[in-house]
Amino acid sequence: MDETIKKAIVQAVKTEPLAQAFQMQLVTLNLGHSIVEMVYNPEVMNNIYARAHGGAIYALIDEAFETAGQTDGTIAVAMNVNVTYVASPEAGTLLRAEAKKVSCTKRTASYDIKVTDGNGQLIANCQALAYRTRKPIPFL
């Protein structure tokens, strides 16, 4: 992966409001691959049942999808995202979303994204399809 693109994406995540609000950390970034982590904080991430809100887990998935999808230096936007929630994490658990590109054409790219907890237990599984605009990412 081009180091200039990598540094630009890493810096963009550090200043992105949602990533900062949820204290997400981009821990791995390679061509078509990313790992993003956050600690499940029930004070801001719970639903009405006092469990992890699906939107909080989705935000982590989307951050991994977003970062993996930009690694070629061009903008990719979500066309379709299908999430299956498998388990609810315990409070304070480190959650890890790993996005891997599984196929790519001129205009689309497909990603497999898994969210696991600190023990490796599957929390959510996702299949995502991105539209590749071919426009350069603006923060290069």
Secondary structure of residue 106 in the 3-state scheme: coil
CATH number for the domain that contains residue 97: 3.10.129.10
Lookup result for tokens 């791995």: 28
Buried-exposed string 46-57: b where 16+ CB fall within 10 A, e elsewhere: eeeeeebbeebb
Distance CA 72, CA 31 (A): 7
Rounded Cα distance, 131 and 107, in Å: 6
**Quick check: pTM over 0.85?**
yes
Each residue's pLDDT, cut to its tens digit, for the chain (140 residues) gives: 999 999 999 999 999 999 999 999 999 999 999 999 999 999 999 999 999 999 999 999 999 999 999 999 999 999 999 999 999 999 999 999 999 999 999 999 999 999 999 999 999 999 999 999 999 999 98
Range of the domain at 103: 3-136
End-to-end CA distance of the chain: 14
Domain count of the fold of the chain = 1
Determine the 3-state secondary structure of 67 from DSSP: helix
